[in-house]
Structure 1
Amino acid sequence: AMKPGGQYEGLLECKEEGLIDHIVFSSHQPGSEIKHILEDGKMEGVLLGINILNFPYRWDGVMAAYQRGFGVVAMNPLFGGAIPTHEKELSFLASEGETPTEAALRFLISCPQISVVLNGFTTRKHIDMACRVADEALPFTDADLEKIRKKIGDNMNLACTGCGYCDNCPQNIPVPSYMQLYNEKQIFNSSDKEMKEKSYLWGITESNGARANECIECGQCEEACTQHLPIIERLKEIASWENK
């Protein structure tokens, strides 16, 4: 994209012609890598996967953009649905009188460093809730954030952001669903038995694609992964749960 005659030069031409105002990029990388890209001086904003569970590992990138006056667009604010799905386990995120889902939205909406929060909705109720949170959003205190940091530990740095680029496995293995399942192992430290029982929550059934142990280690999914996650090794671990 950055080579002579590549996409970046095309974007520069579009900017000169007034077709676009800014050149920005999307990233699922850690904050340090996002910061490095911004320091190069070619980009003017960023769309990144950030939420209340992984913010310690993205914050350097957020601040690098904010300090330059660039826009920061937050995607995946509810961690691919994991937060509303596991509100009981994630109750530590919320203040009195709010749900973990509301807390997750409040965290991003109240951050002055975040320009826009992209959130998906399926019902009018979801829209009303998000609007209410936006109207009432109070920022988290430093003490609140430190408590959350201690709870989430280091595993969230290596959690899949759910971009889905690893889909279309030649063996028909539902890799994105398996990676979301693996996230739960990291977040909740569940037993192998619990993980096996949770498979259906992510649409992983006997009739829906191949099993994890049918991976042929072709590497297609890892080549597509924007986070460079060890997907093959994770599938092997998941296969060990399924075989018990």
Structure 2
Amino acid sequence: MRYRTLGKTGIKVSILGYGILRLPEKRRGRIDIDESIRMIRRSIDNGLNFVDTAYNYHNGKSEVILGQALKDSYREKVTLMTKCPTWEIKTEEDFNRILDEQLARLEVDYIDIYLFHNINEKRYKEIILKFNLFDKMLEAKKKGKIKHIGFSSHEKPKNIKKYIDENDFEVVLVQYNFVDPINEEIIQYAHDKGLGVILMGPCGGGRLTNEPTEEMKQWLTPGKTNFSDLAFKFVWSNPHVTIALSGMSSEKIVDENMALASSKNYQLNAKERERLGKVAQKFQETYDLDCTQCGYCDNCPEDVNIKLIFKELMRSRNPLNMHKARANYRGIGLAKRFPGKNALACVECGECLEKCPQEIPIIDRLKEAHSILKERDV
């Protein structure tokens, strides 16, 4: 495993971090706890030393399961990061209450890195500044409940820069991949200011791990069936990046990512860079839905399986996969592995719109998905 220093924190961390967001499930919403713990520990045993979770991941179960995985001396082997759900804070007292709840869930005495989760302009002004949450962070740090502080954001680079400039953060978590490298300049800026830079979505929330179109297959690495290897090499080739997080949902993915992060060929060579440019251009032309499958839209009041519907809509962009996408969509509500309801059940309440960090017009895209996926292939 390769390691880098996490900015001004001085912590030596693995370049691959385990994002506890896409744990294996026995069925929708029911995590395979034993398999999850085994996978997390397997990665740690092989050199990974950075784990990331959040208050709302897997509807609050992520922190609990990670806490179980870190028992038996595994806690001492990792740097643990979780996040403050700013949207849950209605009073100044809520910050400490929620932090204590997270410590209890994780069954730990302290959190190594604590982030304000998904800052945007509204939350920054109306929650973080209004309730003096940065000072609350510093107080918790003095008490030893947290060691280092930072924030995550899906905002525009100029706003991310503002949050960095106005606060003494030590870590930043942003999105970055070869299809959407918009944050490249802010990543360098944060690094130059001494922040440790952590990335989410190096594989586009799984989009870059899907089977490519027939035309794209000519640019695959020999022996590979998707572009995940090039996606990780791209982000690790950036000297300003410290960690790439991966939400690993199977033992196979863990082993593949661990092997790449330990390889001497973990960065792009000249030929791979050339191929990647062609892939990025074609990918942008083919796929127009920025869903990262984060699951923030889960728990729809009408039980619409938004995440699955969007997964199949993205799958349908590849003509080779249209039949499977339509078959899976028709199976929603009928097959155990496709629970919930299809897009017709949407009543346009708008609850999901407030939760989506990508600001996807979910209601409109659900209508589009149904119009495309309802058809039967002839």
Higher strand share: 2
Query: Counterpart in 1 of 2:153?
Result: 27
CA distance in 2, matches of 1:24, 1:235: 34
Match among 139, 145, 163 for residue 268 of structure 2 = 139
Shift of 1:223: 1.0
Which blocks of at least 5 consecutive residues in structure 2 are unaligned?
Answer: 1-126
Q: Which residue of 2 aligns with 1:53?
A: 179
Which residue identity does 1:240 align to in structure 2?
S
Q: 1:243 to 1:96 in 2, by over 3 A?
A: closer
Higher relative contact order (CA 8 A, sep 6+): 2
Asked if the contact 2:325–2:373 (Cα under 8 Å) also holds between the matched residues in 1, the reply is no
Match of 1:80 in 2: 205
Instruction: Find the aligned partners of 1:176 and 1:209 in 2 and give their Cα distance.
Output: 11
1:220 is aligned, of 334, 347, 351, to 351
> TM-score normalised to the size of structure 2?
0.54
Q: Which residue of the other structure, out of 117, 130, 137, is the alignment partner of 2:257?
A: 130
Partner of 1:234: 365
Q: Which residue of 1 aligns with 2:69?
A: none
Mapped partners of 2:330, 2:153: distance in 1:
26
Specify whether residues 242 and 132 from structure 1 end up closer, same or farther in structure 2 by C-alpha distance, changes over 3 A only. closer
Question: How far, CA to CA, are the matches of 2:135 and 2:285 in structure 1?
Answer: 39
Q: How far is 1:92 from its partner?
A: 5.8
Moved more, 154-163 or 169-178: 154-163
> Deviation digits for residues 125-158 of structure 1, max 9, x if unmatched?
5444323322221335464554344323378685
Q: Deviations over 1:54-85 (max 9, x none)?
A: 2x233233233222221111223333333333
- Structure 1: gaps (5+ residues): none
CA contact (8 A) 2:329 2:374 kept: no
Deviations 1:6-56 (A, max 9, x none): 4333112123344434321122344444334324335332222333332x2
- State the distance in 2 between where 1:195 and 1:94 align: 21
Q: TM-score, normalised by structure 1?
A: 0.79
AA matched with 2:185: D
**2:289 is aligned with 1:163:** no
Aligned to 1:11: 137
1:154–1:70 CA distance, 2 compared to 1 (3 A): farther
Question: Larger radius of gyration, structure 1 or 2?
Answer: 2
Percent identity, aligned pairs only, is 30
Between 169-178 and 45-54, report the one with greater CA deviation.
45-54
